[in-house]
């Protein structure tokens, strides 16, 4: 077992904040539901804002509903170090996803404040709005807004109740009109660091508490609508049907097979949402709308699979006499962590007596969008059985504290020059 020196961050305080935030939007014993721009999301943001202020930061909410805390440094014009993640959740989520990245970053700044450290540059801690993307079917809204990468339909996307994102921002307390005057300053952010649970089983299988991320897979999100013809389930012969759900089922099976073509590749494919019309047991389904999530760290391989998938959709539609449309919701290329940041993390981990492995991230994170404007690095924390997006999601405070300590040491070295070795 490695000999780990005493932690400089306050693990007790960090754990208390994690558990306190988990009470907002709590479902069941351990789950949370803080959908983006919901009243629960706002309550969570307000609570986190108080902790930013306790940590010595000036905190505010920007036009995209990002919560930003600023720790002022010696040179306010120098490129900043940004830390953070998100506090919105899935509708059936856990208490650690995103939250430990925000609360861990606050702990880092609070420790620097308690030490009386004046960083060379400003440090900003951000709780980005709508990382998850589950409410409006497109994530990373806050970070894309902050970095000037919004798309034309972002504001008019609707949730399942017909509420547009523009309306939700107003309900949250932001004025969408302020977005028009916002311009991202190129070079403003020098580097971005994000702490996050792994959301997978690799670290646990290796018996490692933390890992250093090498890169993030590029996600492709599609929404497919297949249309056939409704008919009586008891009277239309099987050979004469135009069953949209049958076509959808064949595509789901094909996606699963495509994603497993290369057993050694980290490719994953998922259909996670499906809506059937008219949704009656004795009517042949006329229309089915479903989502496709295809991810890979190798963009060429993903493009090849995408082409095969589109051919499958076309072939199945022809076979069953269906019409179809495909809407692209997200299309991101894989993004790799900066080597110098990875080296910094490895060196500081070594001082802690740790040798964390490098691993890729299948899930996307706010780091994916930040990678387009600055160098980035990520620290992963082991989670029980790799479970995430589930109330059973769990990471021990001991592991979270190690990840936060590494974040602290890296941030201190990058902005002060040393980590109290």
Length reported for the chain: 421
For each of the domains in the chain, give its residue range(s) and CATH number, in order of start: 11-217+334-415 (3.40.630.10), 218-331 (3.30.70.360)
Q: Is the omega angle on the peptide bond into residue 278 within 30 degrees of 0, that is, cis?
A: yes
What span, in angstroms and rounded, lies between the C-alpha atoms of 240 and 77? 70
What span, in angstroms and rounded, lies between the C-alpha atoms of 68 and 409? 21
Prediction pTM value: 0.86
The first and second tokens of residue 8, run together, are: 């400089």
pLDDT in tens, the chain (421 residues): 566 779 999 999 999 999 999 999 999 999 999 999 999 999 999 999 999 999 999 999 999 999 999 999 999 999 999 999 999 999 999 999 999 999 999 999 999 999 999 999 999 999 999 999 999 989 999 999 999 999 999 999 999 999 999 999 999 999 999 999 899 999 999 999 999 999 999 999 999 999 999 999 988 999 999 999 999 999 999 999 999 999 999 999 999 999 999 998 989 999 999 999 999 999 999 999 999 999 999 999 999 999 999 999 999 999 999 999 999 988 989 999 999 999 999 999 999 999 999 999 988 899 999 999 999 999 999 999 999 999 999 999 999 999 999 999 999 999 996 544 3
Contact 232, 282 (CB under 8 A): yes
Residue corresponding to tokens 């006329």? 286
What beta strand segments (E) does 43-168 contain? 58-61, 67-71, 80-86, 123-128
CA 101 to chain centre: 11
What span, in angstroms and rounded, lies between the C-alpha atoms of 96 and 18? 7
Partners of 381 in the β-ladder: 197, 210
């Amino acid at each position: 077992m490695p000999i780990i020196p005493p932690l400089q961050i306050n693990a007790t305080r960090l754990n208390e904040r994690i558990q306190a935030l988990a009470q907002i939007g709590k479902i069941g014993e351990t789950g949370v539901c803080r959908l983006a721009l919901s009243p629960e999301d706002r309550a969570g943001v307000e609570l986190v804002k108080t902790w930013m202020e306790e940590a010595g930061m000036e905190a505010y909410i920007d036009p995209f509903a990002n919560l930003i805390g600023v720790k002022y440094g010696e040179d306010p014009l120098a490129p900043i170090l940004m830390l953070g993640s998100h506090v919105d959740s899935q509708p059936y989520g856990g208490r650690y996803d995103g939250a430990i990245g925000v609360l861990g970053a606050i702990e880092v700044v609070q420790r620097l404040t308690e030490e009386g450290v004046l960083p060379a540059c400003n440090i900003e801690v951000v709780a980005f709005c709508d990382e998850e993307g589950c409410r409006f079917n497109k994530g990373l809204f806050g970070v894309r807004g902050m970095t000037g990468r919004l798309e034309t339909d972002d504001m008019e996307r609707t949730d399942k109740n017909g509420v547009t994102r523009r309306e939700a921002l107003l309900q949250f307390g932001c004025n969408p009109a302020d977005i028009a005057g916002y311009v991202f300053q190129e070079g403003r952010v020098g580097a971005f660091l994000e702490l996050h649970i792994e959301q997978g089983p690799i670290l646990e299988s290796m018996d490692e508490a933390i890992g250093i991320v090498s890169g993030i897979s590029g996600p492709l999100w599609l929404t497919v609508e297949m249309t056939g013809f409704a008919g009586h389930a008891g009277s239309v012969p099987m050979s004469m049907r135009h069953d949209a759900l049958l076509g959808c089922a064949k595509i789901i099976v094909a996606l699963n097979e495509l994603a497993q073509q290369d057993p050694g590749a980290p490719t994953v494919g998922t259909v996670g949402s499906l809506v059937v019309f008219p949704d009656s047991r004795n009517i042949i389904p006329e229309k089915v709308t479903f989502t496709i999530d295809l991810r890979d760290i190798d963009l060429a391989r993903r493009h090849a699979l995408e082409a095969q998938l589109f051919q499958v959709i076309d072939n199945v539609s022809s076979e069953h006499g269906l019409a179809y449309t495909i809407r692209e919701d997200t299309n991101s290329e894989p993004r790799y962590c900066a080597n110098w940041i990875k080296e910094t993390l490895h060196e500081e981990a070594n001082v802690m007596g740790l040798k964390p492995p490098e691993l890729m991230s299948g899930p996307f994170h706010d780091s994916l969008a930040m990678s387009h404007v600055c160098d980035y690095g990520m620290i992963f924390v082991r989670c029980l059985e790799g479970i995430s997006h589930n109330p059973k999601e769990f990471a021990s405070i001991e592991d979270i504290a190690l990840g936060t300590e590494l974040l602290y040491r890296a941030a201190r070295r990058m902005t002060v020059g040393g980590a109290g070795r």
